[in-house]
A and B are shown apart, each in its own frame.
Chain A
């Protein structure tokens, strides 16, 4: 009897200790719930963001301002109801201080009301529709918005002898954002849209659309497809012989994602896109970033990876500023107006809209050392989201 009681006591003590350890750890740790698509069609986005965050934490260590940073990765397969459920469970059960990631716009929108209600910062590292940051005062974005790059390519095209453009965009919010902004600026600059085609987001077959493009004989085609679909698009573009027909590809840089660019083949040569990041960006910090990323993951980082890298950097810096205080309001206040030098160039968080302000570069696909790269040749500095400044 006595022995049994002792055993019970010992077991009780162990259990108590086991319960106490995470309780202590919890006070010291800042938990970040990372919700990205790791499976399904948008998996490349999630993979890049996850990689970039791992890389950053390897480089900078996993403690900041005396707090340990803990990442809890969840896969939402880019389905918004999953995102919402996971975000809620992370907030309620895991008591995360920050939710981050969000591969597609509907996912980011689904989580926004939760961020507001729980006063938890939502760091959007990928989704690019303008309205996202307006849905909650706790949303901060480190990726980009489509109007940022689309308006600039619209102006550029109008000034550079492109008169007639056919457009091909994915039929969902970011695609419509891209199309609207491009059209406005291109038409204002004297251009003409000769054909407008929207392709479904899920498993698109571009071939029939490309034929229509070819028949309308434009000077260039404006293309927006989400990151990850660019490779498929360029393949069909080449198969249809559009590369030899003199119709150039222009657009926001999503279609020429660095992640896939090198495998697209020579059909991609000469495509001009406006975007926030190129792996060929000629700065020291980017060279180091690309080298480290390649070494760790055996692949080139794309703009999604940079969105993740800057997102985690923003969290680190905000925590430094608050001295490790991870309350939502303080973090958001610290993040507003923050400026830093990212692999993509100088960027900052607009204190008004919590959206990203960054340089947009006009780039052309060229061969550098036998590999395809987006080589930047013009820079528009500190571009705010035109989708908002309009209002």
Chain B
């Protein structure tokens, strides 16, 4: 990391696809065919994964903490809902992108508030923005439907061809494709010089500024990208469930998102994805076993996860697959979960 060519080689090396990553996406596609009766929960996971990815982009790569990411999710959800309800844009894919941009615009305007402060201020500001939007949505119930939510959303077929079905098959593949495309984009972003500069800012903003990185502009840019991602996740939510209610802005949504990143790990793109899977599965498992007290169990597991430490759990989880890989391809091919650099 001393001379320029070294930086670019290491960046390129870091951007190379690893076998573990390819395996991950094969598993995602396989799930779509293996569990045809579980499309709805899988769609839910995919949406959450995208949402978690969006938070990881600012938290893991730029060091911006946020407790109000549901604000963008909600704006995306309501935009998609209103567009479909009033027949402004009937094509789901176009509506999806428009909803994403709506969230991005909000991201642009709120970014000025967010980049000003340090961590604690940012937590409060982001939280405040989400609560503000929730209150506004409730106040203008004529537009948003208030607590009852938007009623009567009917989604048109995707690209005029694939209709949303009751079993959620279309919804699942649609969401998965969106997730994959946006994941590719995110991967490209974080491995680009832009992404590297973000990490420099995260590690030491002052130093970043000293070596000529336009800190604020970079932070605004990534904040907008993240808002766009969250908006898309929200729009996917509305499009696949045909619902949008006040609860899209809820604090729980933002807080759950943080938990997912805590479980999955920040600062590498798969963290949010894995976190979403684990979180949702835990929730599903416990609420099936004990519909009354599942919150207790999920809390307990989260405490244990934090106590045991994520790195150790990752090692345990990867022990079996690594054993097999080692037999097949030798020592060097083992899959390891990259931990975020200490910040």
Task: List the interface of chain A (C-beta within 8 A of B).
Answer: 38-39, 47, 73-75, 79-81, 84-85, 88-89, 92-93, 105-106, 109-110, 113-114, 117-118, 170-173, 200-202
Contact B245 A80 (CB under 8 A): yes
Contact B38 A93 (CB under 8 A): yes
Please indicate the chain A residues that have their CB under 8 angstroms from the CB of B180 in the complex: none
Contact of B40 among A85, A173, A200 (CB under 8 A): A85
Contact of A92 among B37, B146, B151 (CB under 8 A): B37
- A195 CB to nearest B CB, Å: 19
The answer to the question of B132 belonging to the interface, with a C-beta cut-off of 8 Å to chain A, is no
The answer to the question of B60 belonging to the interface, with a C-beta cut-off of 8 Å to chain A, is no
User: Which residue of B has the minimal Cβ distance to A83?
Assistant: B243
The CA-CA distance from A108 to B167 in the complex, in Å, is: 19
Chain B binding surface SS class = helix
Contact A110 B287 (CB under 8 A): no
Contact of B243 among A47, A92, A110 (CB under 8 A): A110
User: Which residue of B has the minimal Cβ distance to A201?
Assistant: B147
Contact of B167 among A88, A106, A171, A200 (CB under 8 A): A88
Q: A92-B37, A171-B138 are in contact. Are A118 and B166 (CB under 8 A)?
A: yes
The CA-CA distance from A363 to B274 in the complex, in Å, is: 56
The answer to the question of B288 belonging to the interface, with a C-beta cut-off of 8 Å to chain A, is yes
Contact A89 B291 (CB under 8 A): no
Please indicate the chain A residues that have their CB under 8 angstroms from the CB of B241 in the complex: 81, 84-85
Contact of B291 among A75, A79, A105, A200 (CB under 8 A): A75
Contact A75 B292 (CB under 8 A): yes
Contacts A47-B292, A171-B147 supplied; 9 other A-B pairs, CB < 8 Å: A39-B294, A79-B245, A81-B247, A84-B40, A84-B241, A85-B40, A106-B147, A110-B243, A171-B146
Q: A117-B166, A200-B138 are in contact. Are A88 and B40 (CB under 8 A)?
A: yes
Q: A200-B147, A201-B147 are in contact. Are A171 and B291 (CB under 8 A)?
A: no
**Central interface residue in A81, A114, A201, by most chain B CB within 10 Å:** A81
Contact of B287 among A75, A81, A171 (CB under 8 A): A75
User: Which residue of A has the minimal Cβ distance to B241?
Assistant: A81
**Central interface residue in B37, B246, B287, B294, by most chain A CB within 10 Å:** B287
Contact B287 A92 (CB under 8 A): no
Contact A88 B166 (CB under 8 A): yes
The CA-CA distance from A172 to B147 in the complex, in Å, is: 6
Contact A81 B237 (CB under 8 A): yes
Please indicate the chain A residues that have their CB under 8 angstroms from the CB of B287 in the complex: 74-75
The CA-CA distance from A74 to B38 in the complex, in Å, is: 16
The CA-CA distance from A84 to B37 in the complex, in Å, is: 14
- B170 CB to nearest A CB, Å: 14
- What 0/1 readout, one digit per residue, does chain B (294-313) give for beta carbons within 8 Å of chain A? 11000000000000000000
Please indicate the chain B residues that have their CB under 8 angstroms from the CB of A105 in the complex: 148
The answer to the question of B143 belonging to the interface, with a C-beta cut-off of 8 Å to chain A, is no
The answer to the question of B275 belonging to the interface, with a C-beta cut-off of 8 Å to chain A, is no
Please indicate the chain A residues that have their CB under 8 angstroms from the CB of B38 in the complex: 89, 93
Contact of B41 among A47, A85, A117, A172 (CB under 8 A): A85
User: Which residue of A has the minimal Cβ distance to B44?
Assistant: A85
The CA-CA distance from A79 to B241 in the complex, in Å, is: 12
Q: A81-B243, A89-B40 are in contact. Are A114 and B294 (CB under 8 A)?
A: no
Contact B41 A89 (CB under 8 A): yes
Contact of A74 among B41, B148, B168, B291 (CB under 8 A): B291
Q: A88-B167, A89-B40, A171-B138 are in contact. Are A202 and B246 (CB under 8 A)?
A: yes
Q: Which of B221-256 contact A (CB under 8 A)?
A: 237, 241, 243, 245-247
- B189 CB to nearest A CB, Å: 30
Q: A80-B245, A88-B167 are in contact. Are A38 and B141 (CB under 8 A)?
A: no
Contact A173 B292 (CB under 8 A): no
The answer to the question of B68 belonging to the interface, with a C-beta cut-off of 8 Å to chain A, is no
Please indicate the chain A residues that have their CB under 8 angstroms from the CB of B245 in the complex: 79-81, 106
The answer to the question of B81 belonging to the interface, with a C-beta cut-off of 8 Å to chain A, is no
The answer to the question of B149 belonging to the interface, with a C-beta cut-off of 8 Å to chain A, is yes
Contact B148 A38 (CB under 8 A): no
Contact of A202 among B41, B147, B151 (CB under 8 A): B147
Contact of A109 among B37, B151, B288 (CB under 8 A): B151
The CA-CA distance from A201 to B141 in the complex, in Å, is: 12
The CA-CA distance from A75 to B292 in the complex, in Å, is: 7
**Central interface residue in B146, B147, B287, B288, by most chain A CB within 10 Å:** B147
Please indicate the chain B residues that have their CB under 8 angstroms from the CB of A75 in the complex: 287, 291-292, 294
List, sorted by A's number, 27 A–B pairs whose CB atoms are closer than 8 Å.
A38-B291, A39-B294, A39-B295, A47-B292, A74-B291, A75-B291, A79-B245, A79-B247, A80-B149, A80-B243, A80-B245, A84-B241, A85-B40, A88-B40, A89-B37, A93-B37, A106-B148, A106-B243, A106-B245, A109-B151, A110-B243, A113-B166, A171-B141, A172-B146, A172-B147, A200-B138, A200-B147
Please indicate the chain A residues that have their CB under 8 angstroms from the CB of B151 in the complex: 109
